[in-house]
Amino acid sequence: MTDAELVCLARGGQRAAGEQLARRWSARVLAMCCARIGCSNAAEDLAQEVLFRGLRGLAALEDPAKFGPWLRGIALRVCGDWLRSRSTAEVPFSRLGNDPVDPLDQTETPPERLEDEDTRRRLLTEIHTLPEDLREVILLHYFDDLTYDETAALLGVSRATVNARLAKARELLARRLASLVR
């Protein structure tokens, strides 16, 4: 069933259709939120807020076939609002007066697993330093397993743009992570 069909059913009061839309889009919305603000608990909360607003506001969607781009617009606004509010309300951890504790510190971890976790952590750190347009395609394509065409449709760009952004992101990541492969 297409998104447009599910939107029409959900507008008609079929709760299961709305639930199916939420399941179908939850990982994509999370990837978009992570691309905008970084992967964190806040991104998960914002993704839930996006889905809630999207499902609640289905009546405002003029073309049910454009559910994905419409939902992306909601995600951009929700993340933008969060970033603006955070800039005035956040207190740096260093100001709390406590010694920071590394929650990923696992002294009992076998050395080979630790190397894999370190590599993954470094890769994710590098991904989050990429420009937003590159970070977004990397997260959608590799972490959400979207095809080039699905990514292009979601972002409202051409397949060639997705290809170019992925190529540029891979090149930047390869240069930055070259020290991991020795």
Model confidence over 129-145: pLDDT tens digits?
888 889 888 888 887 77
Beta carbons within 8 Å of 119's beta carbon, 6+ residues apart: 180
- The domains of the chain, with CATH numbers, are 3-89 (1.10.1740.10), 108-180 (1.10.10.10)
* 11 confidence band (pLDDT: 50, 70, 90): very high
Would you tell me how many other CB atoms lie within 10 Å of the CB of residue 135? Answer: 21
pTM: 0.58
Q: What is the 3-state secondary structure (H, E, C) of the chain?
A: CCHHHHHHHHHCCCHHHHHHHHHHHHHHHHHHHHHHHCCCHHHHHHHHHHHHHHHHCHHHCCCHHHHHHHHHHHHHHHHHHHHHHHHHHCCCHHHHCCCCCCCCCCCCCCHHHHHHHHHHHHHHHHHCCCCHHHHHHHHHHHHCCCCHHHHHHHHCCCHHHHHHHHHHHHHHHHHHCHHHCC
Question: Which pLDDT value is given to residue 179?
Answer: 66
Q: How far apart are the C-alpha atoms of 47 and 43, rounded to whole Å? A: 6
Question: Which pLDDT value is given to residue 181?
Answer: 56
pLDDT at 17 over 80: yes
With beta carbons less than 8 A apart as the criterion, state whether 4 and 21 touch: no
pLDDT at 64 over 70: yes
